[in-house]
Chains A and B, each alone.
Chain A
Amino acid sequence: MNDTELSRKAFLLREQAAGLIYRGKSGHIGSDFSVMDILVTLFYLHLNVSPAQQTDPSRDRFILSKGHTAEALYCILCDKGFFPKEELETFCQFGSKYTGHPNKNINGVEINSGSLGHGLPVGVGMALAGRMQGQPYRVYVVMGDGELAEGSVWEGAMAASHFKLDNLIVIIDRNRLQISGTTESVMNPGDLRSRFESFGWQVWECPGNRIDALDQTISEAKASVGAPALVIANTIKGYGYSAAENQAKWHHKVPSEEEYQQILEELKERRAMIE
């Protein structure tokens, strides 16, 4: 699939994620819509993963450190054939394995996540294991920007450069919003580029809701030698549904029936506009 087709797919997957949240009556729609293009770029253009490779030791490893965007991940894994749609429809229902945050009982999920700040250290461990085993895989970690206030993120960042993990790529979904407000007002992450560079990382930055830009930037980041790579993907929280865009209140809001219909309508329109 080319970038245009994938951009359309990202809108279609947003419709599906919104449906899961609407029917499951729980989820993080603003963050799902923000991170969707990052996940689509990774899963359809970069990650060497598939249902047939789940136990292949050479497969790429993906960690959704911002585990609250589970719906976006689940819709992609389902689309890629990791599990059937009917199963995913149990999302957030009593007894469903498709929990509000990912767990590794779900096909395609490498590690339970959602306790923020955990993903990067786990990724460091996977990258070190890959190096020890002489495996060619890369480890991709997607973090939120609000998550950067967790101290363990910086412990992991320090270790990743100390061990010169150039098989580790982190993408920050930089939507500048968290539950209680802007990242700048809640706990200012400052100049992320210089902070990570001072930690010994190679840093790239790109528009985070454009597949073509993400694809090109991640390709460049993969070429990083001797240092871990960071991509700051500048996104819009709620991207695709204008009423939710840049609105912190949509972080964890379940749409009403009327809102859900509006969401579907707007996503369809935006999808149709892509040429």
Chain B
Amino acid sequence: MGNTGSVKQAYAEILAQLGKENEKIVAIDADLQACSLTDKFSDSFPDRHFNVGIAECNMVGIAAGMATCGKIPFVHSFAMFTAGRAYDQIRNSVVYPHLNVKVMGMYAGFTNGEDGPTHQCVEDLSLMRTIPGNVVLCPSDANETKQMVRAVAEYDGPCYIRMPRSATQTHTDIPGYQFEIGKGVELCDGKDVAIIATGIMVERAMQAAQLLKEEGICARVIDMHTIKPIDRQIILKAADETGAIVTTEDHNIIGGLGSAVAEVLAENRCVPFIRHGVKDAFGKSGKFEAVMELHGLTAQGIIACAKAVIAQK
């Protein structure tokens, strides 16, 4: 535990590995192979890799057509341009007919720091989550990414994976960890508050838990790698056992993880609850960490929310 690993590097490795194991897997890019790193795949399988140019709607349509013929296409671009630009194709040509297409939302959230708001998608979880039957995932580290992508390749149906650009500390290389779609992971136990985190915020949640511990506050951290179907059981258990919940995501607090958890709580449990995330705002151009700081997406930001929610008990 504690090693740093590149999520996108892990993705590139597992996709190439899966390509060896399953000849149905096809990779499609919209001119951003330099970001998706699918050259690892295309070097081994040039006939199963397609660069369709800067045309994301076309890319998703092509993937849908291939899927009807038994292929398992993985399509790649920035989250902004798959979930955002090609929303209609994902909704009508992939998820509605329940086709076996895997949509990658690379460089999600503010991980695309310098490019600014046009390229920083903080709405993709919301867009993808509301499409009926879509599976929506977000890995927190390199290890989880590998297990997740393998599970996604084995799952017969449409999936969206939100991929960060940055490297993260690895938290999931713990004994007994096994990725399962729809099953959140308790990374550390605690009784005072539960921090439910997704993607790169898991790393910050773990830091927050460590710092809270030094102050005598015992925080549970849950890695919610599946936004849909949301793990109701782990949420309700956390509500019952800690009595206070914070969600944290590098995504708009409207429509993403916070909303998904709020929906479960509102219908089932009345406990103090705070959504930590992007407060309905666009990003700014700058270094990734600086943009994160601006939006309070730090361990300190989570700590403040944890203390506030405990005070409401």
The listed residue (B26, B50, B65) touching A121 by CB distance below 8 A is B65
| Contacting residues of chain B (63-104) with chain A, CB-CB under 8 angstroms | 63-71, 73, 88-89, 92-93, 96-97
Q: Closest chain A residue to B55 by CB distance?
A: A155
Closest B-chain residue to A110, C-beta based? B68
Dominant SS at the A interface? Answer: helix
Measured as residues with beta carbon below 8 angstroms from the partner, the interface class of chain A is 20 to 34
Q: Which of A107-152 contact B (CB under 8 A)?
A: 110-112, 114-115, 117-118, 120-130, 132-133, 139, 151-152
Interface size on B, residues (CB 8 A): 29
B159 to chain A, nearest CB (A): 18
Contact B97 A103 (CB under 8 A): yes
- Name the CB-closest residue of A to B97: A112
A125-B62 in contact (CB<8A): yes
Chain A residue with Cβ nearest B95: A112
Say yes or no: A115-B88 contact (C-beta < 8 A), given A125-B66, A158-B55: yes
Indicate with 1 or 0, residue by residue over B28-71, a CB within 8 angstroms of chain A CB atoms: 00000000000000000001101011010111111111111111
| Complex: chain A residue closest to B65, CB-CB | A125
Q: Scan A57-89; emit 1 where CB is below 8 A from any B CB, else 0.
A: 100010000000000000000000000000000
Query: Taking CB as reference atom, which chain B residue is nearest A122?
Result: B65
CB atoms of A124 and B93 under 8 A apart: no
A129 touches B65 (CB 8 A): yes
Chain A residue at minimal CB-CB distance from B96 = A112
Assess whether A132 is in contact with B70, with CB atoms less than 8 Å apart. no
Report chain B residues within 8 Å CB of A139: 65
For the complex, give the distance between the alpha carbons of A115 and B61 in Å. Answer: 12
Annotate B217-246 by CB proximity to A: 1 below 8 A, 0 otherwise: 000000000000000000000000000000
Contact of B69 among A114, A120, A126, A152 (CB under 8 A): A126
Tell me whether A112 and B93 are in contact in the complex, defined as CB-CB below 8 angstroms, given that A129-B70, A159-B58 are known contacts: yes
Given A112-B97, A155-B55, A158-B53, A124–B69 Cβ distance below 8 Å? no
Given A112-B96, A133-B69, check contact A151 B57 (CB 8 Å).
yes
Contacts of A130 in B (CB 8 A): 69
| CA gap between A123 and B65 in the complex, in Å | 6
**In the assembled complex, how far is the CB of residue A267 from the closest CB belonging to chain B, in whole angstroms?**
33
How many Å lie between the Cα of A128 and that of B59 in the bound state?
Answer: 12
Residue among A57, A110, A155 making CB contact with B58, cutoff 8 Å: A155
Residue pair B52, A111 in contact (C-beta under 8 Å): no
B292 to chain A, nearest CB (A): 34
Residue in chain B with minimal CB distance to A103: B97
Asked if A121 and B66 make an inter-chain contact with CB atoms under 8 angstroms apart, the answer reads: no
Chain A neighbourhood of B69, CB < 8 A: 57, 61, 125-126, 129-130, 133
CB-based contact B65/A111 at 8 Å:
yes
For B53, what are the chain A residues with a Cβ–Cβ distance below 8 Å?
158-159, 162
A126 pairs with B96, CB closer than 8 A: no
Q: How many Å from the CB of A57 to the closest CB on chain B?
A: 7
Residues of B within 8 A of A162 (CB): 53
Q: What residues of chain A lie closer than 8 Å to B73, measured between beta carbons?
A: 125
Contact B61 A132 (CB under 8 A): no
Instruction: Indicate if the CB atoms of B68 and A111 lie closer than 8 Å.
Output: yes
The verdict on A104 contacting chain B, using a C-beta distance below 8 Å, is yes
Q: List, in ascending order, chain B residues with CB within 8 A of A123's CB.
A: 65
Whether a CB of chain B sits under 8 angstroms from the CB of A208 is: no
Within A240-259, the residues touching B (CB, 8 Å) are none
Q: Across the interface, which residues of A come within 8 angstroms of B92, CB to CB? A: 112, 114-115, 118
Q: Of all chain A residues, which has the CB nearest B71?
A: A129
**Cα(A158)–Cα(B59), bound, Å:** 12
A125 touching B55 by the CB < 8 A rule? no
Complex formed: what's the CA distance from A30 to B245 in Å?
A: 57
Nearest A residue to B47 via CB reads A132
Q: Is A156 an interface residue (CB 8 A)?
A: yes
Given contacts A57-B69, A111-B68, A112-B92, contact A122 B48 (CB under 8 A): no
Q: Jot down 11 A-B pairs with beta carbons below 8 A, ordered by A.
A: A61-B68, A118-B89, A121-B61, A121-B65, A122-B62, A122-B64, A124-B65, A125-B63, A125-B65, A155-B52, A158-B55
Closest 3 CB pairs of A and B: A125-B65, A121-B61, A155-B58
